[in-house]
Amino acid sequence: MTAQRDGVLRATRRGFIAASAGLLAAACSDERAASAPPAPPSPTDRNRTEPFFGEHQSGILTPAQAHTYFAAFDLTTGKRDDIVALFRSWTTAAERMCRGQPSEPASNGAQSPATDSCDVLEVPPSQLTVTFGFGAGLFIKDGKDRYGLAGKRPAALVDMPHFPGDQLVEARSGGDLSIQACANDAQVAFHAVRQLARLAYGVAEIRWVQTGFVADFGEHATPRNLMGFKDGTGNPKVDDPALMDAFIWVGDEGPDWLRGGSYVVARRSRIALEHWDRMTVAFQEQTFGRQKLSGAPLGKPAEADAVDLEATTSDGNPVIPENSHVRLAHHTSNDGARILRRSYSYNDGVSFTAERWPPWHQGMEYDAGLLFIGYQRDPRTGFIKIFERMSRFDMMNQFVTNVGSGLFACPRGIAAGEFLGQSLFSTA
Amino acid sequence: MTAQRDGVLRATRRGFIAASAGLLAAACSDERAASAPPAPPSPTDRNRTEPFFGEHQSGILTPAQAHTYFAAFDLTTGKRDDIVALFRSWTTAAERMCRGQPSEPASNGAQSPATDSCDVLEVPPSQLTVTFGFGAGLFIKDGKDRYGLAGKRPAALVDMPHFPGDQLVEARSGGDLSIQACANDAQVAFHAVRQLARLAYGVAEIRWVQTGFVADFGEHATPRNLMGFKDGTGNPKVDDPALMDAFIWVGDEGPDWLRGGSYVVARRSRIALEHWDRMTVAFQEQTFGRQKLSGAPLGKPAEADAVDLEATTSDGNPVIPENSHVRLAHHTSNDGARILRRSYSYNDGVSFTAERWPPWHQGMEYDAGLLFIGYQRDPRTGFIKIFERMSRFDMMNQFVTNVGSGLFACPRGIAAGEFLGQSLFSTA
């Protein structure tokens, strides 16, 4: 709802919602709305909020919301102070938006440029999370120490190796900063990045973005990817703190700003869906190493059953093929390496494609597939370790083209009163 | 849930849902699942279904679902019978999917290509609608009467005129057939088109597609577009049958297959959001002719207030500017012409853009904007009539680039036992 204050109309997303639900008898200003009692529990997750401040950034262990808008930025400023100012404003704006408020208060009739674009003004918080990451370019770029941070580049923030089959497009890869906005509403996720990008005018520019989605399979079900298979069954359990400390959170080996943070690998993997749809289900299952409908590992009846990589058929062949996705991804095949996958499907329409094998089709094909997002404590012993072999041997590779890739160090969570990455800048 | 039948596991989306909700004690085959009692009413609209059979096609008067996947196809066959067979299979598959079932039953381990891609197997129906349209090319293309239908082209299915400012891209325009799939889940909408496109192999190929979304503003609120303004306030009320008969449904002037159908104009309008975000709110309001936060027409206090195009300020200027969007779109400015807008926002990431005016920016800009979708009884007295003047004078045009356009005749609804467009083919 709107309220008269300082002679202008002001509104908040939360204000609108609360009022339309009849919770507030009187109109309220945006700051008062923030301290209003929380809405009663809703049967939907539209009204849920995720904490912005805390030990860890949200959006990592948070169960995947329905939509993401992942953006990578190039820093264009030469001044360290600009970055500090940007991170201060990003912190304030992101925290507001995660509470369902505009990035800055908005008003009708203002004679100044719009502060918030207002396109989700009445939309509930939708469980928005905003997760920031720092690319290598924040520390050093083309050999230049732009901000006096070169000495603080963490060892694990490596340059990603080239993997067999990579067809990386420069304009879809890299970046000095990253923002992963996730929400149960596509527009809320886009809105968040759009406001943050506006606050970065003159300091940082969008380099690439990727939208993603995951369908609603129910709270305790493993979602399916566009290949029609359940994806994420073998993920480490996020409610096991020891597992998270071991594999996801950076520990004492990292600097203060990164301790309790993580590393994210984001990759755009186009999938040849028209090909895949022409394969027999039996072949698809050999490729994955799992049954299509049930999600059970081959040779087992249920999705939750442990993958048995030793099992053999009566003629001595492995039940789960040597080159199947599940075998190559499994931690016992990778010296125990584990990462937390938090991937989305993406769908960017169609583009002209010339096929190089039967059915030799030329024409419009889906530009759709997987926005792979994986979190880990150290990419050298996480994604890179696992993908070294997968990129060589995975049967699935024939359907997948990796066209974009980024690696970012995600700082630890922000405490109230702090700003993003503060201790990276405050220490000498 | 899965059930043993004919020695293979079979499953359905609805089967999975019902079983996981504990509604079915025993496993069920896909056909039995279809006749199971409906799930209890849900507080969300995930479980809602829209009727597929009926007097009119769904997806026209249906209040906009959260997502759309709009696809246009080129017919590649030379045979009329292929089209009849395609429309039969499309009818069967679409009707199944609208009930939350796979397009065809699916099974683990099948030695044949997958029938349904299975990527939304456990996802509720999500209010899926599938709305078919016929482009001019079904009747005549490049002067050729490919299917003996040239004489049946409706007079209102015109070639669209070129409008001032149109920057139409051939690969994003036209098409012989259209499918508008809408659902409350992005993956359900994509899934529907993907199955129908697979059934069209050898007969029709995707020409262009466009995804779209609208945020959840609540059931009775007007949604906002990416410009942050409420969009659709002036739409004719869909619960007024006389209004719908007058402006939306084709009447006795049309052939049997089209009587009770409509015409859809679909246009991809990229919006220069970075520019728009730099404008003052006051300027934005002059452009729209409405207040930004409240949606009220300029000079009025509330969104629902009638637009007063006669009102003047104390110095004699119109309160609602001559070139404002709301004035030019208003039916009193267009000899009473009205259309039913059912537009979505779209977001295709970013692309390199060189600005032609201040701030003379070159770099990545949002490829986002409006997927305009408008239904009408006759495009000559509907969209074309209205857009003739708007394309010349609307202040908003400076922020909008129209890059794609299609016009399709949407047949009347399909009765159970019929197939899409049947009477077009059954009469001599």
- The four Cα atoms B389, B394, B398, B404 give a dihedral, to 10 degrees, of -50
Mutant choice from A67, A176, A217 vs B, greatest count of B C-beta within 10 A: A217
CB contact under 8 A, B108 and A292: yes
- For residue A258, being part of any structural domain is answered with no
The pLDDT, as a whole number, for residue B427 is 58
Measured between CA atoms, the residue of chain B closest to residue A344 is B187
Does position B94 have pLDDT exceeding 80, yes or no? yes
H helix and E strand count, chain A: 10, 11
Out of B226, B280, B285, the one facing A119 most closely (by C-beta) is B226
CA distance B272 to chain A (A): 13
Q: Does the residue B25 lie in any domain?
A: yes
Q: What is the pLDDT of residues B258-284, one digit of tens each?
A: 999 999 999 999 999 999 999 999 999
pLDDT at A270: 96
User: Which residue is it, tokens 């009663």?
Assistant: A40
CB atoms within 10 A of CB B167: 9
Residue A252 inside a domain? The answer is no
**Same-domain status, A394 and A420:** no
A347 in the same domain as A415:
no
Preceding peptide of A359 cis, ω within 30°: yes
Query: d(Cα B334, Cα B366) in Å, to the nearest integer?
Result: 33
Q: What is the mean pLDDT of each run of 10 residues along chain A (428 residues)?
A: 36 39 30 35 68 98 96 98 98 98 86 88 95 98 97 97 94 97 97 97 97 90 95 92 98 97 98 93 96 96 95 95 95 93 96 79 92 98 96 94 97 98 84
Instruction: Judge: B228–A121 Cβ closer than 8 Å, yes or no.
Output: yes
* Contact indicator for B114, B9 with CB cutoff of 8 Å: no
**Radius of gyration from C-alpha coordinates of chain A:** 23
pLDDT, one tens digit per residue, over B39-65 is: 333 334 788 999 999 999 999 999 999
Indicate whether A227 and A91 sit together in one domain. Answer: yes
Contact between residue B224 and residue B230 where contact means Cβ atoms under 8 Å apart: yes
Residue in A closest to B293 by C-alpha: A108
The answer, yes or no, to whether residue B10 has pLDDT greater than 60, is: no
Do residues A378 and A421 both lie within one domain? no
Long-range contacts: A144-153, Cβ < 8 Å, 24+?
A146/A75, A146/A78, A147/A79, A147/A80, A147/A83, A148/A80, A149/A80, A149/A424, A152/A255, A152/A424
Q: Are residues A284 and A240 in the same domain?
A: no
At residue A220, the pLDDT reads 81
Look at residue A118 and tell me if it is in a domain: yes
Q: Domain for residue B16, yes or no?
A: yes
**A419 shares a domain with A401:** no
**Number of domain units in chain A:** 2
> Which chain A residues contact residue B350 at CB under 8 A?
206, 208-209
* Count of pairs with CB atoms under 8 A, one residue in A, one in B: 235
Predicted TM-score of the model (pTM): 0.90
ipTM of the complex, rounded to two decimals: 0.89
A234–chain B nearest CA distance, Å: 18
Is the pLDDT at B322 greater than 60? The verdict is: yes
Are A354 and A384 members of one domain? yes
Non-local CB neighbours of B356 within 8 Å, separated by 6+ positions:
none
Question: What distances in angstroms separate CA B24 from CA A217, B31, B37, one per listed residue?
Answer: 18, 14, 10
- Which residue range is the domain that position B19 belongs to? 1-40
Tell me how close the Cα of B99 comes to any Cα of chain A, in angstroms.
16
Tokens 């509720």 locate to: B124
Interface test with B, best of A44, A118, A185, A270 (most B CBs within 10 A): A118
Q: Which residues of chain B lie closer than 8 angstroms to A190, CB-CB?
A: 347, 368
Alpha carbon B405 to its chain's center: 13
Whether residues A211 and A232 share a domain: the answer is: yes
Q: Do A281 and B107 touch (CB under 8 A)?
A: yes
CA distance B2 to chain A (A): 8
Contacts of B294 in chain A (CB under 8 A): 2, 9, 108
- DSSP alpha helix (H) spans, A130-280: 186-199, 241-247, 273-276
Confidence (pLDDT) at A219: 77
Chain A residues in contact with B216 by the CB 8 A cut-off are: 46, 123-124, 126, 185
Q: Please check whether residue B144 lies inside any domain of the structure.
A: no
Q: Are A219 and A310 found together in one domain?
A: no
How far CA A366 is from CA of A287, A405, B198, in Å, comes to 21, 20, 12
Answer yes or no: is A89 within a domain: yes
The one-character DSSP state at A229 is S
Q: Which of B46, B109, B217 lies nearest to residue A282, judging by beta carbons? A: B109
Residue A204 and residue A88 share a domain: yes
Q: Are A226 and A283 members of one domain?
A: no
Question: What's the DSSP call for residue B82?
Answer: H
A411, A57 in Cβ contact below 8 A?
yes
Enter the DSSP assignment of A281: H
Contact call for residues B371 and B212 (beta carbons, < 8 A): yes
- A41 within a domain of the structure (yes/no): no
Q: Same domain, yes or no, for A300 and A370?
A: yes
DSSP assignment of B225-251, as one string? -TTSSB--TTPPPTT-HHHHHHHTS--
